[in-house]
Amino acid sequence: MTTPWPYFPVFLRLQGARVLLVGGGEIAARKLRLLRRAQPTIEVVARELNSEVAAAVAEGAALRIATDFESSQVQGCRLVVAATDDPQLNAAVAAAAQRAGVPVNVVDDPELSSFITPAIVDRAPLLLAISSAGAAPVMVRRLRERLEAQLPVAYGRVADWMQTQRQRVKQAAGQRARRIWEQFLDGSGAEQLLSGNVAGADVALSTLLAEEATPGEVYLVGAGPGDPELLTFRALRLMQQCDVVLYDALISPAILELVRRDAERVHVGKRRAKHTLPQEQINEELVRRARAGQRVLRLKGGDPFVFGRGGEEIERLAAAGIPFQVVPGITAASGCAAYAGIPLTHRDHAQACVFVTGHPQADGTLNLHWDMLTRRGQTVVIYMGLTALPQLCAELIAHGLPGEWPAAVVENGTRADQRVIVATLAELPQRVGRPAQAGPSLVIVGQVVGLRDRLNWFAGQPETLTPSPPTVVNGEKA
């Protein structure tokens, strides 16, 4: 679940609107400077005015309407700002504004405020607003300093010029307009403007508009097992430039939040026999949208080439002549095992690792290479094995592994609500309970599971039953 916002970020039009500013000292002067940039009608209530506020009143940039605050003064205002050093007066202003349904900011008092003013990086008309909801003002100042240093002052000039060309590009490019502007900003056009060469920028834009429409493309991107910080840089870049995303059921909301906000979102997830779209239809949808000129993000949990059917999808794209890119992701086996504190290989316990799908056949049977899976000195990772977990454990025991062999189920691996259930093969199905109650899960079988007690580092939700130590027979661990 994504973290809730304490405030909704918004830019508010104030030009010509009434704004009430209660206070006339230095605190009020700082707010007055910001408010004047938005060109409202500023009404000041204060017994005394410092030189800056008095000068603004004298110039007509603000109107002093009273010396003492009255609740009726907030009526008809678009915003109210309480900027005095009197806590009781500030509280009275906030209460009056709240009753009148007018947004109010009490300087340095988020509890009384219905809105707060962010730190601003000013490249007008480009404005960057930064806020921590009052939680970390020093961090906000640091971020502002970094952005001030990284963004050229001339960025405002670029934004102004782009505004003058919007209608031209819209008429000439239609649905390609957004891509034209992206190419302009990524190419020489923006650099020409930053250096003051408006004519050169016009030539660069004209060249882009004269080019034929670029074909669509598909980005097959592995999103990893759930933690957004496990995404690759390339994955994030493509997620930010797509026109549409087709995403699986196992994509966490936190990762989906990182996709371009104005991209169309299409859920095509498959989960325990609940298919939103059959695979063949997903393949055809990728082809259809790419042929229509869209940049299509196919976002898949884990790695698209590990039980993700990514190979089938790019086979269809290749046959249709559709350009595509593949971005590997951290597969569930490595991600979930690492976050569970279970190494997949270990010099003393596992010299090999086997990935296998535990999804039963249509008739409910499991046709796996049991003799291979029950060899010692290896780790077996079973994808999609929760539904058939009792049968899986029983078959592994029947084909030679002892009932005391260590095994684990990792549920919601790498996420904040990760849960790890460690038991023996004989006890694991009972410990896990009904699969319908579990989130996306992975089964890990092998002696490496016994290392979790010492190697667990991720603060998920532990639920552990330590397996009995392996029996030693003729000097070999059984």
User: Which tokens in the block code for residue 185?
Assistant: 């900003």
130 in helix, strand or coil? strand
Torsion of CA 145, 149, 154, 159, to 10 degrees: -60
Instruction: Tell me which of 109, 122, 270, 477 is the catalytic residue.
Output: 270
Query: In this structure, which long-range contacts are made by residues 60-69, counting pairs with CB atoms below 8 Å and at least 24 apart in sequence?
Result: 61/36, 62/21, 62/32, 62/36, 69/22, 69/45, 69/93
Distance, in Å, from the CA atom of 46 to the CA atom of 28, rounded to the nearest integer, reads: 10
For the chain, the residue count is 478
Active site residue 248: yes
Q: How many CA atoms lie within 13 A of 81 on its CB side?
A: 24
The closest alpha carbon to 439, from 416, 410, 464, 459, belongs to 410
Active site residue 31: no
DSSP codes joined into one string, 307-319: SS-HHHHHHHHHH
Q: What radius of gyration do the chain's Cα atoms show? A: 30
Instruction: Tell me which of 227, 248, 300, 303 is the catalytic residue.
Output: 248
Active site residues: 248, 270
